Structures are given as C-alpha cells and as structure tokens.
Amino acid sequence: QRYEELCRSLNMDERARAEAWLSYQSMRRNYTLEGNDMHWLACALYVACRKAIPTVSRGTAEGNYVSLTRILRCSDQSLIEFFNKMKKWEDMANLPSQFRERTERLERNFTVSAVIFKKYEPIFQDIFRYPQEDQPRQQRGRKQRRQPCTVTEVFQFCWVLFVHAKGNFPMISDDLVNSYHLLLCALDLVYGNALQCPNRKELLNPHFKGLPEDFHSKDYKVSSDPPCIIEKLCSLHYGLVLEAKGIKEHFWKPYIRKLFDKKLLKGKDENLTGFLDPGNFGDSVKAINKAYEEYVLSVGNLDERIFLGEDADEEIGTLTRCLNTPSGMETAERVQVKHNLQQHFDRSKSLRITTPLTGRKYIKESNPYVTPVSIATYSLSRLHTMLAGLKNAPSENLEQILRSCSRDPSQSIANRVKEMHEVYCQSTQSEGEFSNFSKDVASKHFRRAEMLYYKVLESVIEQERKRLRDTDLSAILEQDVFHRSLLACCLEIITFTYNPPGNFPFVTEIFDIPVYHFYKVIEVFIRAEDGLCREVVKHLNHIEEQILESMAWKRESVLWDRIRENENKVPTCEEVMPPQNFERSAGNSAVGSPLTPRRINEVRAESGGLGKG
C-alpha cells in the first residue's frame, strides 16, 4: 500500500511501477534487505525509470522523465543513503557495468557539487551583501512595476546558472578543478551584471576588494562593458588564472551567448548583461529553472538545486551548514559530517593508508588545513610548473639520444603516440550538443601527457645510460609494452590531476595494457620524475596496491604465463631480498622481514634495472 502511494505521488507509469515491484520481490526472496523497505523500493524504481522506453517520434528514449530527487523525497531517503543502498542493489541485481558507471558518475557529480557549494557560499558573501540584509518584499499588484532583485534571489540564480552550465559539459561535471573555475566564471558574470543594476549598492558588498576604485563616489558612472574579476577571484580564493580564463573564453562565454540567443537569458546579448535588471530578471529566472528541470529529467541526474533548500541537510544526508562553523566550534557532529563528505568525495584514498604495501617514504607530510579545492588547484599548479617550457615532442637532447641508437626508434615512438592519441579521443568522446568540448578536453589532456611522457622518457634513458655505461639501448627502447605503459601512466597522472580520482583501470583497458606491465613502470616513473606532488604519488601507490592485491592475480593476467614459463616456480623470499634484510631465528634459519612492493622494486633495480624489470 505504501508503495502504491509512492508511485501515485510520483505519477509513475505502469511499466516502471510493475517492473520495480517484481524486482524488489525477487531481491527479498534471495537476500535479507535490512532497513526501510521503501528505500530499497526507491532503488528498484530508479533502475526501472532509467530503462530505455519506446516513444512516438524518436524511437526510444533513455528513462521515463521521473526525477531522482523526487523519488528520494517521496521515499524519505537521503542522497548518501541512496548511494550506499544503490551499490548493494547493483550487486544483488547483477546490473550491467554501463548502469554502474552511470551511478558512479552521478555520485561523483554530487560530491564535486557538494565541495563546490561549500566554496560558493563564502565567495558569494565576499562579493555580495549577506542575504539576511535583504529588505522585506512589499506586496504589490500585478500591474505594478517589477521590483529589483534581492541578494537571496541573485544567490539562488547564480547557483542554478552554474549547475545548468556544468551539466551541459560532461567532461566538467565530475571534474573538481574545472567545475571550480566554471563557478568563478558564473560569479564573474553575475558580478558584472550587478554592477550595471540600478540597485547595485543594495547587492554588492562595499568591502569587496574587486570593486571599481570610484564605486563609492557620487560621480560613479557605469561602464558600458562589465569588468572581468577572474584574476581577482583567483588570487583571493585559490584559483588558477590561466585555467579559469581559458574556461571563460572558450566554453563559458560561448555557452552564455547561446542562452541569450535562445532567449533563456534576457538582456543585452552584445556584452552579456542586463539579465539582473527588474524588467528581465523574473523571466530569466523562470527560463533557466525550466531549462535545468528539463535537463535533469531527460538525463536522470540529481537536481543540484537541492543544495539551496532549507531541508538540504536532511535530503543530502549531511549537516552541510555545520561545515562553515568557526574552528573553535568543532562539534562531534561536524567532525562526522567532514568524515562523511570526505569519504564520498575521495575515491583515490588520499586519507592515510596504513597497509604494509604503501611506499610511505615517497609521500611528504600533508598540511592539516587544506581543502579538496586547494589540494586540486595546488596539484594542477605543480603540474603546470613541471611542464613549463616543454612541447609535446622529443627535446633536442632526446632526439640525439634516439638517433645514436643502433636502431633509431624515433619513428616507431611517434607512430605509437599518434595511434594512442586517436584511441583515447575516440574512447572519451561524448554525444550531444557539446561533444566538441569533450573531444577538445580529451585532446588537451593527451597533449599534456605527451609532454610528460617525453620528459620522463628522457630521464629514464639518462639513468639507464649511467647505469649501463656504453651499452646500446635499442633493445630496451623497442619494447612496445614499456612505451605504452609509460604513456598510459602519464595520461593517468594528467587525468587524476584534473579530475580525481583518475581513470584507472580505464586507461589500461582502452590501450589493452596488462596491469602486470603497467605496475612495473610506476616505480620507474617515480624514480625518474621528482616533481610529482604528494597526492599524485599517493594515487600511484593506490594503483600499485590494487594491482598487487587482486588485479595481477586474475585468470587472464599475464603473470600466470610468466610463472608457467618459469616451470611453475615462484621466486623465494631469499632470492628477491638482500641478506641484510633478514633476521636470523634461534635455529639459524632466515626469517624475512615484511616485504613491500617498494622494496621488491629496489631489489629489481639493483639486479637489473629497466631492462630486466
């Protein structure tokens, strides 16, 4: 009866209603479903709603346009609770990998938005007045002139404009750094419009450091073109100027122009202003909200306006407002909230890892006062520093080294890079109006991976030449799997830096690289490049752990071929560890100290380096 009431409140179609109920009954027969039954039924309904259904005009459509947010509200379930249950439901129902990937992406989108919203509130309050300072609205008749917008309305409108834009760029929606810079672009645009409003002084914070110098004078005149405060926002709030300006020029401004062309934003389309004016604001708010609602329903995404609601804490499952309490008020609830958000945000296990497999010596101590955004922007700035002055081609020194080999591998390296570039761009391409953006970002990421690849390759070769003296390196440089693994490792680092938690093992799957071989280049890479930041090294450590713990031991792994080639014998502890690492027991037999992968790699380097590794 409660389920029928839920379906009626959602106006659920008969097909989805019946399918979800049958699925729930099947799960209940085979598994113990702990907790609220309506929460499990919400998972079943979400799966049923996302199935492709026939339509009159377009053949099939993905989903039946029932909002996930409404399903959760009507079933009285928080978002984090839903994600936890959904993972279990996917396992029990043995749902296909495509559906699981979509749910994971949905969760990543949410966690990025949760972190971004925490940054949005203080940045907005830096630029604009506090919403509490809004004057109460006076009742007015229909024919009276429209009243100027309030700070609270601007706060809500700016967030909706941001999430609408973010959702339309698939490569940005779960990318923390680019999403943050997109938010700065939204604030920059809304600030420029606020400056031109008649009630600008009621909207803007008089103490904002980016205000025009003569803003407070009686003779202040509005500029015809709004100023750009991207640089000021980046300096005040830890953004990267070049990245933010790139997002603004190439993606944000063209997108906003489209909104003006479609009449979703009303104002002066020549300089993208005027939508905060009393005559335009109401229509712009309605149009943007309607367009965003249509987008959310069509793709089954979370309605990210949830962060603006009074019940956001309950609907999300965290007390988000508590995250902004002063440091002296660190309550138990706030600590738990921080842990909750961190757990859902950080899929790369950047919290302290305490397994014996972790290479602790490569990881520098972290600052306890950092935030996810500051970590991401710092990692990106370190990457920019590392790649400064490089090009996506061999340096003159590397070209000379390659030519000096008895068999010059230059052409085969160039061909391999070109082929991998095409494979990567095809595999990451999305469909729709903004597919070019997806392709451009993928290509940009790969070009940066190329720069890093040639830089690290040169360092690796220099180290091998010192170790092997005058030995010809042709045999080593002709190993296809080494080059593919090294370039894939570079690409994973670029992807992780821009978009935690990275793309592993996707990056090995698209290039058909056995993880057994990918594992071997990680140590080579870290030894060759000392400019890697702490978070990147930790990410590579985590990949090592994944491979060592399970992935290398799968049935199809080439590790089994190597064991068979060695007459089904595995090296003993004594064979891979030097004598000083052994302890002698009372019986004088060797007892190995704990064996870490880092130590295995050190021994491998001592015994044969890259060639025999």
Q: Considering only 350-354, 497-501, 569-573, 589-593, which range has the smallest mean pLDDT?
A: 350-354
- Whether 50 and 129 share a structural domain: no
590 pairs with which residues across the strands? 584
Q: How far apart are CA 118 and CA 237, in angstroms?
A: 12
What average pLDDT does range 467-479 have in this prediction? 79
- Whether 386 and 269 share a structural domain: no
Angle at CA of residue 406, ends 404 and 412, nearest 5°: 85
Per-residue confidence at 64, pLDDT binned at 50, 70, 90? Answer: low
| pLDDT tens digits for range 291-328 | 999 888 887 778 899 888 877 777 787 544 333 333 33
For residue 87, pLDDT over 70 is answered with yes
Q: How far apart are CA 36 and CA 72, in angstroms?
A: 13
Q: How far apart are CA 605 and CA 609, in angstroms?
A: 4
**How many residues are given for the chain?**
613
Better pLDDT: 275 or 66: 275
Q: How far apart are CA 53 and CA 376, in angstroms?
A: 40
For residue 269, pLDDT over 70 is answered with yes
Tokens of 184: 């700065």
pLDDT at 370: 54
Per-residue confidence at 242, pLDDT binned at 50, 70, 90? Answer: confident
61 pairs with which residues across the strands? 53
Alpha helices in 428-514 (DSSP H): 435-468, 474-477, 480-498, 506-510
Q: What percent of the chain has pLDDT over 90?
A: 34
Per-residue confidence at 132, pLDDT binned at 50, 70, 90? Answer: low
pLDDT at 337: 34
pLDDT at 285: 95
Domain count, the chain: 3
For residue 343, pLDDT over 60 is answered with no
| 508 within domain boundaries | yes
pLDDT at 429: 62
- Whether 129 and 25 share a structural domain: no
| 556 within domain boundaries | yes
| pLDDT tens digits for range 406-449 | 888 889 999 999 999 999 988 876 444 444 456 777 888 899 99
- Whether 36 and 16 share a structural domain: yes
Average pLDDT, the chain: 79
- Whether 305 and 159 share a structural domain: yes
Better pLDDT: 605 or 556: 556
Per-residue confidence at 581, pLDDT binned at 50, 70, 90? Answer: low
Q: Which phi and psi (to 5°) does residue 592 adopt?
A: -75, 140
- Whether 91 and 112 share a structural domain: no
| pLDDT tens digits for range 582-600 | 665 444 444 443 434 443 4
- Whether 459 and 416 share a structural domain: yes
What average pLDDT does range 46-59 have in this prediction? 62
Residue 537 CB partners (closer than 8 Å, separation 6+): 359, 362, 363, 526
Q: How far apart are CA 537 and CA 515, in angstroms?
A: 18
| 507 within domain boundaries | yes
HSE-up of residue 453 (Cα within 13 Å, Cβ side): 27
What average pLDDT does range 209-236 have in this prediction? 87
> CATH number for the domain including 65?
1.10.472.10
Per-residue confidence at 457, pLDDT binned at 50, 70, 90? Answer: very high
Q: Considering only 19-23, 95-99, 151-155, 528-532, which range has the smallest mean pLDDT?
A: 528-532
- Whether 161 and 23 share a structural domain: no
Better pLDDT: 470 or 549: 549
pLDDT at 205: 92
For residue 136, pLDDT over 50 is answered with yes
Report for 63-72, 228-237, 558-567: range of highest mean pLDDT: 228-237
Angle at CA of residue 17, ends 12 and 18, nearest 5°: 155
Report for 133-137, 417-421, 565-569, 609-613: range of highest mean pLDDT: 417-421
Strands 60-62 and 52-54: antiparallel
Alpha helices in 94-175 (DSSP H): 97-127, 151-168, 170-173
What average pLDDT does range 281-289 have in this prediction? 95
- Whether 385 and 421 share a structural domain: yes
- Whether 519 and 439 share a structural domain: yes
For residue 613, pLDDT over 70 is answered with no
| 294 within domain boundaries | yes
Q: Which residues of 165-185 are buried (b: 16+ CB within 10 A; e: fewer)?
A: bbbbbbbbbbbbbbbbbbbbb
For residue 612, pLDDT over 80 is answered with no
| 41 within domain boundaries | yes
Report for 71-75, 174-178, 335-339, 375-379: range of highest mean pLDDT: 71-75
Per-residue confidence at 110, pLDDT binned at 50, 70, 90? Answer: confident
The SS3 of residue 225 is coil
Query: Domain range for residue 292?
Result: 106-133+148-216+223-313
Tokens of 29: 């027969």
| 388 within domain boundaries | yes
- Whether 494 and 397 share a structural domain: yes
Q: How far apart are CA 99 and CA 314, in angstroms?
A: 26
- Whether 558 and 428 share a structural domain: yes
| 592 within domain boundaries | no
| pLDDT tens digits for range 352-411 | 333 334 343 444 444 434 566 777 777 777 888 888 888 888 998 888 888 888 888 889
Q: How far apart are CA 321 and CA 307, in angstroms?
A: 10
pLDDT at 288: 95
Better pLDDT: 109 or 151: 151
Tokens of 476: 């080593």
| 461 within domain boundaries | yes
What average pLDDT does range 219-242 have in this prediction? 87
Where does a domain end: 293, 313, 333? 313
